[in-house]
Amino acid sequence: MNKKIGLVGEDPNDTESIRFLLDKKFSGSVSYQILMRRITGYNLDSDHTKRILKVECDKQKPDIVIFIRDADGICTEKKKIETCERKHKDLSKALKVKSILLLNIYELEALIFADIDTFNRVYKTEIKGGGDVTYIAEPKEKLKRHTRKMQKTFHESHCPEIFKEMNIDNVIANCSYFREFMTKLDQMINN
């Protein structure tokens, strides 16, 4: 049962990072197709994008499309979350395939805090873990601040390499929104 999963993200680094992380769980049972490679950020919300995405899905025929988006707000900022969810529903209406939203609360880098030990090992930092990552505002900036005087300074372009090293079980255990996403995705893959 090899399912084809299409990945649509705001940034190529985000898309590649999530592919590396998901492959730790679904290796051998799914293949990945990066869709909409040239369209990034809020350009994903245009009518033109919907048409291009529909054509790409008709051509590549994924079984499931994952939309990787940032809420740019913490979990208590409900309006920002609802806006992203509404945009996902609007985009997915045009498709003839199942879709799921991975809504990163605040941004993708929050997931790094769910497995901070990996980051600490790679960057030789001592950032304390614990707590719900959905409450971390500006995680990218926090990681940059923690490494600015280190030999290796964090940059968002490093995310794919970090995610390649991360332990998906730690991320699932320490991030409620990612755990919910994985439960839904697992059901979609196995049905």
pLDDT, mean over the chain: 91
Q: What is the CATH number of domain 3-108+176-190?
A: 3.40.50.2300
- pTM metric for this prediction: 0.92
CB 145 within 8 A of CB 139: no
What is the per-residue pLDDT across 148-187, written as a single tens digit (0 to 9) for each? 988 889 999 999 999 999 999 999 999 999 999 999 999 9
| pLDDT tens column, 49-78 | 888 888 899 999 999 999 999 999 888 899
CB atoms near residue 29 (< 10 Å): 11
* Structure tokens, 123: 């960057």
**What pLDDT, on the 0 to 100 scale, is given for residue 96?**
81
Helix (H, G, I), strand (E, B) or coil at 30: strand
Tokens of 106: 């605040």
The residue among 106, 38, 99, 44 whose CA lies nearest residue 71 is 106
* CA distance readout (Å), 55 to 42, 52, 96, 113: 19, 5, 11, 36
**103-to-23, 87, 117, 126, 151 alpha-carbon distances in Å:** 18, 11, 23, 27, 32
- Give percent of the chain with pLDDT exceeding 70: 97
Please give the single-letter amino acid code of residue 115: D
Domain ranges of the chain: 3-108+176-190, 110-158
Is there a contact between 107 and 144 (Cβ–Cβ < 8 Å)? no
Running DSSP on this structure, what letter comes out for residue 175?
A: -
